[in-house]
Amino acid sequence: MSVETVDALVTPRGHLDILSRAEVSKLQDTTRGGLYRLFRNCSLAVLSSDSRTDDGKALLARYRDFDIRVLQNERGIRLQLRGAPASAFVDGEIIRGIGEHLFAVLRDIVYVGDEIANNAHIDLNTSEGVTDAVFHVLRNAGVLQTGVEPRLVVCWGGHSIPRTEYDYTKRVGYELGLRGLNICTGCGPGAMKGPMKGATIGHAKQRFHHGRYLGVTEPGIIAAEAPNPIVNELVILPDIEKRLEAFLRLGHGIVVFPGGVGTAEEILYLLGILLHPDNAELPFPVVFTGPAGASGYFEQINDFIGRTLGPAAQTRYTVIMDDPVAVARHIKAGIAAVKAYRRETDDAFYFNWRLRIDPAFQQPFHPTHDNMRALQIHREQPPHQLAAHLRRLFSGIVAGNVKEEGITAIERHGPFEICGERDIMDALDALLRAFVEQQRMKLPGTAYRPCYRLVR
Positive or negative torsion for Cα 245, 262, 372, 272: positive
Q: What is the mean pLDDT of residues 226-232?
A: 92
Question: Residues 293-321: pLDDT tens digits?
Answer: 999 999 999 999 999 999 999 999 999 99
Question: Do 192 and 171 meet the contact criterion of CB atoms below 8 Å apart?
Answer: no
> In this prediction, what percent of the chain has a pLDDT beyond 70?
94
Positions of E strands within 2-134 = 5-10, 67-73, 76-85, 89-90, 93-94
Model confidence over 152-195: pLDDT tens digits? 999 999 988 999 999 999 999 999 999 999 999 999 999 999 99
* Beta pairing partners, 81: 8, 68
pLDDT digits (tens, 9 = 90+) for 245-300: 999 999 999 999 999 999 999 999 999 999 999 999 999 999 999 999 999 999 99
* Domain range summary for the chain, segments of one domain joined by +: 5-118, 122-456
pLDDT tens-digit readout, 4-51: 999 999 987 655 556 777 777 777 777 756 688 889 989 999 998 876
What's the pLDDT score for residue 113?
A: 83
pLDDT score, position 199? 98
% of the chain residues with pLDDT over 90:
75
Q: Which CATH superfamily is domain 5-118 in?
A: MoCo carrier protein-like (3.30.1850.10)
3-class secondary structure, 102: helix
Do the domains at 5-118 and 122-456 have one common CATH topology?
Answer: no
Q: Is the dihedral of CA 174, 142, 359, 117 positive or negative?
A: positive
The strand ranges marked E within 160-217 are: 182-185, 213-217
The mean per-residue pLDDT over the stretch 139-143 comes to 95
For position 49, what pLDDT does the model report? Answer: 81
Q: What is the pLDDT of residues 59-93, one digit of tens each?
A: 778 898 999 998 887 667 888 999 999 999 999 99
Residue 118 has pLDDT above 80, yes or no: no
CA–CA dist 317, 311 (Å, integer): 11
Cβ atoms of 420 and 377 closer than 8 Å: yes
Read off the pTM. 0.91
pLDDT at 444 over 80: no
End-to-end CA distance of the chain: 43
DSSP 391: H
Question: CA 364, CA 366: separation in Å to the nearest integer?
Answer: 6
Task: Classify domain 122-456 at the CATH class level.
Answer: alpha beta
Give strand pairing partners of 316: none
Question: Are the beta carbons of 63 and 51 closer than 8 angstroms?
Answer: no
Decide the pairing of beta strands 76-85 and 67-73. Answer: antiparallel
**Measuring CA to CA, how many Å separate 212 from each of 143, 165, 196, 208, 249?**
10, 23, 9, 10, 16
Beta strands at 152-156 and 93-94: parallel, antiparallel or unpaired: unpaired
pLDDT tens for each residue of 359-383? 999 999 999 999 999 999 999 999 9
pLDDT at 200 over 60: yes
